[in-house]
Amino acid sequence: MTRLKENWIEDIEKGIVDCQDYLSEKTGRSFKTILREHIWPLQTIKVAVIPVTQGQGIIGHFAESVASVIRVMDFEVFITEETDVAGIYEAACKKADVIFMADDSRFIAWNLKTGEMADNNIATAVGYVNVLEGALGSLKKKGILLLGYGTVGEEICKVLEIKEANVTVYDRDVTKQKKLRDQGIKTIKTKEEIKEFEFVIDATNTGDWLRSDMLHDEVWYVSPGVPLSLDAAAYNRFQDRIIHDYLQIGVATMLAMVLQNNKIFV
C-alpha cells in the first residue's frame, strides 16, 4: 500500500459528488453500484473511521476523505474522537457495524457484526477491474496489459483471470518477468510494446513516466497507482478514457466486500 500524501487527498471531501458523477459518466457505475448492483442490506449500517497514530502517524484529510466516500454512498458514518485502540473501543461503544482504519502497512474495513474483513490492496484490484468492465462490457477474451506486478498488480492479475481476460504483464524487474513466464503468464519486455495495447491497467507507483506517444491512440487507461504514471500531455490527450483516483474506488469496494461477505464475483 502506497502511503498517501496530504496534498493528494485534501480536496476529496469537497469534490466527492463530482468524482462520483465522473465515474458514472465513464463507466455507468457509481460508488454505490461499483460491483454492478445495489447490494446494500435494508437495515441501517453505521460506519466508523478510526484515525491511527502508529508508525508515521495520521495523514491529514485521510479520515475525512474515507468518510466522504462512505457518506456519498448513503451510509451513516462518523470519525472517532479517539485514536488507535481507544478509537476501536469508541466505535464499538457507539454501535458501529463497520470500522475503517489504516496504518503504514495495511488499510482495512472490518464488519464487527459478521467478522468479514476487506484489505485495501485486494479491494482496489477488484474495484478497478470492475469499473473497467463497466466501461467496456465483458472483459472475457479482451487483451489487457497490466503495468506493474507488485502487491496490487498481483491481485489485479488474479481478478482479470477470473474475468477470463487475456492478460499480459509488463514489469521492469526482469527476474519477476521470468517468474511470470514460468507461471504461464504472458509478458512484454520493453516499454515500446505498451503502445500495442488498447486496454491498460497501471499498478505502478513511479510518476510521470508514460508519454502520449507510448500509448495506443484509442487507449482506455485505468490506474490505481499513485503517483499517476502519465505525464501532463498524455493525461490531457486521453482524459476522456482515463479512470484514476487516490482512494475512492478502493474505499467503496472495501465497504461492498464486508457487506456482502466477500462474494464479489457472483
pLDDT confidence of residue 11: 73
Q: Which CATH superfamily is domain 123-244 in?
A: NAD(P)-binding Rossmann-like Domain (3.40.50.720)
Give the class (CATH, top level) of 6-119+248-259.
alpha beta
pLDDT confidence of residue 33: 82
Contact 109, 158 (CB under 8 A): no
6-119+248-259 and 123-244 share one fold: yes
CB-hemisphere CA count at 13 Å for 101? 23
Give, for 123, the enclosing helix (H) or strand (E).
Answer: helix 120-136
Contacts of 217 (CB under 8 A, 6+ apart): none
Low-confidence ranges of the chain (pLDDT < 50): 38, 42, 262-266
Domain map (residue ranges) of the chain: 6-119+248-259, 123-244
Contact 199, 142 (CB under 8 A): yes
pLDDT confidence of residue 74: 87
Q: Could you identify the residue written with the cell 516499454?
A: 191
pLDDT confidence of residue 1: 56
140: left (phi over 0), alpha (psi -120 to 50) or beta: beta
pLDDT confidence of residue 58: 81
pLDDT confidence of residue 6: 65
CA-CA distance, 153 to 204, in Å (whole number)? 8
pLDDT confidence of residue 213: 97
CA-CA distance, 168 to 188, in Å (whole number)? 7
pLDDT confidence of residue 229: 95
